[in-house]
Structure 1
């Protein structure tokens, strides 16, 4: 199974949190599409709903939510996801990934849509060291 890095953004606080998804956590993301909403219970966030906002593969090729299916495509692009023009009217042929999340992806970006009972800061707070017994 593929390992994925999930970057979870919290629109309320403006913070982003990094999650390493392995095994079943990564499997819950495989087959989903960029732009799709899903429950974050499989990632360990009870009551949360997230939206997948983007993804990249190991070579840095971004995914676009308007391309159906899985795999790569070479598209003639103007200013959009995957290409930023250097002069007005510039177009260039670039390789872009399709919207479906596959094991070829390395990073998946997501944002919180609905919040659960616990805050994200409580999930990601560093564990307090136990007091040394004397």
Structure 2
């Protein structure tokens, strides 16, 4: 089973949170595509809706939303995901991944679209332990 690092962005406060997706959590992301909106329950966030905004594989090759299917393709690109030209009119052939999430991906980028009842920050803060009485 694949393991993913999910970077979840919170547009309200500009924070980004790292989540290790393993086992069933990672399995629930397999087959989804960049641009899909998923339920936050899949990642452990009750009542949230999360949009997958991008992904990269272990060599750093990004996924593009407009390429259907899975796998890699070599495309002639002008300015877009995967290529930023240094001068006007520059184009270059680059390797790009398709939008479907497979086991080859390492990092998945996502953002919150709808918020749940519990604050997102509270999922990531360590819970305070009650102080034990000194004897």
Q: TM-score, normalised by structure 2?
A: 0.96
Unaligned runs of 5+ in 1: none
Query: In 1, distance between residues paired with 2:18 and 2:113?
Result: 17
The alpha carbon displacement at 1:53 in A equals 0.2
Residue of structure 2 equivalent to 1:53: 53
Residue of structure 2 equivalent to 1:24: 24
SS in 2 for 1:112: strand
My pick for the range that moved more, 122-131 or 40-49, is 122-131
SS in 2 for 1:27: helix
Query: In 1, distance between residues paired with 2:89 and 2:126?
Result: 49
SS in 2 for 1:70: coil
CA offsets 1:13-32 (integer angstroms, 9 cap, x no match): 11000000000000010000
The alpha carbon displacement at 1:133 in A equals 4.5
Residue of structure 1 equivalent to 2:40: 40
The alpha carbon displacement at 1:128 in A equals 1.6
Residue of structure 1 equivalent to 2:98: 98
Unaligned runs of 5+ in 2: none
Query: In 1, distance between residues paired with 2:77 and 2:42?
Result: 36
Q: TM-score, normalised by structure 1?
A: 0.97
The alpha carbon displacement at 1:42 in A equals 1.2
Residue of structure 2 equivalent to 1:74: 74
Aligned alpha-carbon RMSD (Å): 0.9
Query: In 2, distance between residues paired with 1:64 and 1:95?
Result: 11
The alpha carbon displacement at 1:127 in A equals 2.4
Question: Runs (4+) of structure 1 moved beyond 4 Å?
Answer: none
Residue of structure 2 equivalent to 1:123: 123
CA offsets 1:28-50 (integer angstroms, 9 cap, x no match): 10000000111010110010001
